[in-house]
Amino acid sequence: MYASEAAPGQQTLADPPIRVMVVDDSAVVRGLVSRWIEEEPGLEVVARHANGKLAVEDVMRSVPDIVLLDIEMPVMDGLEALPLLLRARPGMRVLMVSTLTKRNAEISFKALALGALDYVPKPDSNREITIELDFHREVIQKIKALGPAGTRPGRGEGSHFAAAGARSETSQELPAFRRRLFSLVPPRVIAIGSSTGGPQALGSLLGLLSPSLPRVAVLVAQHMPPMFTTVLAERLARVTGRDAREGTDGERLRPGVVYVAPGDHHMTVTRPEAPCLHIGREPPVHFCRPAVDPLFASVAATFGPAALGIVLTGMGHDGAAGAFAIAEAGGSVIAQDEASSVVWGMPGAAAAGACAAVLPPAEIAESVAKLIKGERP
């Protein structure tokens, strides 16, 4: 592959290696994760530290591109170290590493507000870490996605739930031969898929959309583990002032409610005559559970032209097939634009043939509000 042909997030022979600092109080974790990184072409470990204070003192010497930052550490924990690291080296990408507790989920969301770009859920014990393939895969995938080839400095900084701001001059128009028309039918449901960077984009989008939400049900599939989706729903409730909660199996959809797919469960819609949620542990899709494609496909089958799909920032291509299903059923699909995305994998894949528009969150909110009122954007 020539350098000019590299896909987003992929390195080429011309790219320097992604420099990684590993910060964790467990020597086992530091050693194991460092070995995984060193085994990957294009990645290199430049420093390993047992606490945040040592990392802050060393960051200007080791100049990492990515920091894997544990939350719970002695001397200086990850949340205290994070702003000091970013102040010392602005534009550096920080990936939080935390165990699956509600407390750590809440801390991870605070870290995103302080400038971390994403997080990786860590198994509870060192033994589990050594055998947990998902943890290994996710660490490597996210380092590559957030490295210099996959994103640019400054992405994801600022308030976790800040509004997207004024109309962007970088909004992307799809070529005419790929652009689809918006449905003439006002949406009865909004299905949203997101991953890396998604919590920030979701908060911005739904906060702006709050006045329009009483007319539609909102379904969210965010790639997140248990506990994290609980905290996400709580935060969306605060930012929207609406009823936002994890979906429950058999629950009937109601307008004005935001339903978040629970971690480690898929969420789909059944019974077109009286749409209800199905929450289940069917096999992962694209290594994800919840996944976007099953949600979108069920929404397309249930609501047809009254379905609206939105694909926000995230790595991979989950949601692309489901977006196509919504478009083929006569519904509308909007993708987040590349300039405002932390990683443009998911929205970029959906944009290839399924979308009516590619926009930043503020402009997505404007378009959706018009669609709900029966107007054309």
Q: Do 45 and 58 meet the contact criterion of CB atoms below 8 Å apart?
A: no
- Model pLDDT, residue 376: 87
The residue annotated as part of the active site, out of 77, 318, 337, 341, is: 318
Residue 322 CB neighbours (<10 A):
28
3-146 CATH, one of 3.30.565.10, 3.40.50.2300, 2.60.40.10, 3.20.20.140: 3.40.50.2300
Angle at 351 between CA 206 and CA 360, to 5 degrees: 35
The residue annotated as part of the active site, out of 195, 204, 332, 367, is: 195
Bridge-based pairing of strands 43-49 and 66-70 is unpaired
Residue 318 falls in the annotated catalytic set: yes
Scored b (16 or more CB within 10 A) or e, 233-272 reads bbbbbebbebebbbbeeebebeeebbbbbbbebbbbbeee
Whole-angstrom distance, CA of residue 169 vs CA of residue 162? 19
The residue annotated as part of the active site, out of 223, 265, 266, 278, is: 223
The whole-number average pLDDT for the span 165-178 is 42
CB proximity list for 89: less than 8 A, separation 6 or greater: 59, 60, 63, 64
CATH homologous superfamily for the domain 189-372? Methylesterase CheB, C-terminal domain (3.40.50.180)
- Model pLDDT, residue 129: 75
Every domain of the chain with CATH number 3.40.50.2300 lies at: 3-146
The whole-number average pLDDT for the span 2-29 is 71
Share of the chain above pLDDT 70, in %: 87
Residue 278: which H helix or E strand, with range?
strand 276-280
Highest mean pLDDT among 14-23, 152-161, 195-204: 195-204
The whole-number average pLDDT for the span 75-84 is 97
pLDDT of 192-247, one tens digit each? 999 999 999 999 999 999 999 999 999 999 999 999 999 999 999 999 999 999 99
Report whether pLDDT(175) > 90: no
- Model pLDDT, residue 171: 42
Residue 223 falls in the annotated catalytic set: yes
Whole-angstrom distance, CA of residue 75 vs CA of residue 25? 10
- Model pLDDT, residue 161: 33
Whole-angstrom distance, CA of residue 31 vs CA of residue 24? 10
pLDDT of 248-307, one tens digit each? 999 999 999 999 999 999 999 998 789 999 999 999 999 999 999 999 999 999 999 999
Whole-angstrom distance, CA of residue 310 vs CA of residue 365? 10
Report whether pLDDT(157) > 90: no
Tell me how long the chain is: 377
- Model pLDDT, residue 101: 87
Residue 26 falls in the annotated catalytic set: no
Every domain of the chain with CATH number 3.40.50.180 lies at: 189-372
Question: Taking the model in full, what pTM does it have?
Answer: 0.88
SS3 7: coil
